[in-house]
Structures are given as C-alpha cells and as structure tokens.
Amino acid sequence: MSRRRVLQGSAVTTVLTTAGCLGETLTAGDSSSGDGESTSTDGGTTDSDESAALEDELRPLIDDYLDAAAAEDTETIATRTHGSSPLHPEGWEEAGWEFQGDAYEDVDGYEIERVIEDAAVEDVLELATADFWFENDELATAIGSNDIAIVEVASDDLAAEELDVWVFVTEGNAWKVFLIGTEDETPEDPTEAFKEPIEDEENDVVAGIDWEFDQDNLGEETEWARVHLTDSPGVDADTVRIESTIAGTEIEFYNDEHGDLSSTWAGASGSVELNPDGDQIVVTAIDGDDERIVHRQHYEP
C-alpha cells in the first residue's frame, strides 16, 4: 500500500493495491549495499560482508513478492508476508477487499540501494504508511522481539508509487515482508508547502467540506475531512479527484456510462486523511486530458 491511497469511489468492491505487476520483465540490478571493504585485513568477516549476505537473502523475497503480485497470486503473497503484517491477504480478503496487481506492468527492474540491518521500530515509524496502519504501540506489539531489516529500493516506477522502502521482519527463523512504503517526507511546517487558495464560488463541483468529520474505524488519533460534491455539476468532467496534499490521501469519483452499472460523481462524498499539523485539500476536475483545479482550501488546526 502506497502512501497515496487511491480509492475508486464508484467501484463495487474496495480495491487494495499493495504491490505491483512486474511479470517476466523484472530484472534485479547488481548493486552493493555496503560502504566498507568486503574483507577485513585479517581475512575476517566485516559488517559489509554481513550486509551483502542479508541483501542476497532478501532480494529473492522481493522478487517473489512482486512476481506473485503480477500474477495476483495471493497464496504466494501470503507465504512471503508476515502474519502480523497489514499486507497479509488473510486480513483484507476477509474484509471483502480485492487484490489488484496490474499497477507495475511497466516496471522493468530495480536495484537495492541500501540494507539497514538491526533496524528498530522507530525506523519503521519513519515510513509514511506506518501511522496509517498502526496507532500508539500497535506496531511494537505486532513486531514483538523479532528482527527487523529495512531495504531501500531504487526504481523510478517503484518510487513513483511510493513503494521504494521494504520492511522485513522475522517470523520463526525466516524473513517475511512486513510493510512496503516510502520515507515520510512531510515538512515540519506544512504551511510552507501551501499554495494560494482557490474557491469554487459557484459550487460547480464542491458543495462543501466537513472539517469535523469523524470516521469510525479509521484511527482515533487521525484527523479527517469529508468533501461533499455538488448534486448539480457546473462543469464537464469525467472524473473528480479529491486529495489532501500533505497527508497524501487521494480519492477519485468518476462517471461511467458503460457496462451493466452506471455511476456519476455528482452528489458523492469522500473522506480524506489530514495531517494534524496542517494540510490542504485540492479538488481537481478532469475531462479527458484536461485537468483543472477547481478548489484548494487549507486546513490549519
């Protein structure tokens, strides 16, 4: 699951996109994760040796996970995923979520930039997705006394999907995928990233925003806003995108007049997570290749 969590508003089933589709085009790049020499002066083992050995152990797990995602093979994904991980298929399949593995069909390779051995829970919490899945001490409880390793992956496509940091946790004597995400790059002062407000004065798209919205089961300590779209659109748009640019949550509602089911974004409502220290909601109307921001509003607690 990337930091930018996309929910298709008109979908019949909630779709969880965790990893992607690499197919047979996946080629692991040759890289070294250690900065030191490979051997010590007396021929003994160095930290670089141990890091390289761990990289060699974890690389096949990444390959297997991505290949399984490409094939939408949830059984294999389950065997490669830690039982306490929010990415484990058992949990989200029971909730009626559907795995979608076609997001990475154009990815043709990756390299391992760095392997962090003996990582700590605090290191995992630096991932942008960690606080979405875990609150308070839940992460420490889920990991327990197991070993943690973090792998930073270099790939333009993986980075674009914010899946360039992989967390592995031992289960028994085996390493398992625990979390996939990206480093949290939230600015210390979110207002520095704010752009000039834009008001949908005629309510062509946005009917209003509920800043006091409290969504059940989405985190007691998480701030949310609910954006209500107008019942009477004043613009031509196939899709309306709602996003919180600091927290990085995105929802899209779209018109679909094909198939057995039809849908429209008019009258829809969507909830987005807010960074508690400040955020901005941006609403974009999309008509074919034309994208136009129709509303931008700041959240300043």
- Per-residue pLDDT tens for 162-175? 778 999 999 999 99
Separation of first and last alpha carbons in the chain: 28
Please give the share of the chain, as a percent, with pLDDT higher than 70. Answer: 77
pLDDT computed for residue 35 by the predictor: 40
Q: How far apart are CA 134 and CA 144, in angstroms?
A: 14
pLDDT computed for residue 151 by the predictor: 94
Higher-confidence position of 14 and 4: 4
pLDDT computed for residue 298 by the predictor: 96
pLDDT computed for residue 110 by the predictor: 87
User: Pairing relation of β-strands 15-16 and 290-299?
Assistant: unpaired
Sheet of strand 269-274: strand arrangement: 206-210, 223-229, 269-274
- Per-residue pLDDT tens for 235-281? 999 999 999 998 888 899 988 765 555 679 999 999 998 988 899 99
Residue range 117-126: mean pLDDT, rounded? 92
The sign of the torsion formed by the CA atoms of 178, 181, 182, 186 equals negative
Candidates 144, 163, 131; CA nearest to 84 is 144
Q: Predicted confidence band at 216 (pLDDT cuts at 50, 70, 90)?
A: low
Sheet of strand 249-254: strand arrangement: 5-8, 249-254, 239-244, 279-287, 290-299
Candidates 229, 227, 230, 233; CA nearest to 249 is 227
Higher-confidence position of 137 and 41: 137
Q: How far apart are CA 115 and CA 127, in angstroms?
A: 15
Residue 10, CB-side half-sphere exposure with 13 Å CA sphere: 18
Q: How far apart are CA 245 and CA 199, in angstroms?
A: 17
- Per-residue pLDDT tens for 141-197? 999 999 999 999 888 878 777 778 999 999 999 999 999 888 877 777 889 899 999
Q: How far apart are CA 185 and CA 166, in angstroms?
A: 16
pLDDT computed for residue 120 by the predictor: 94
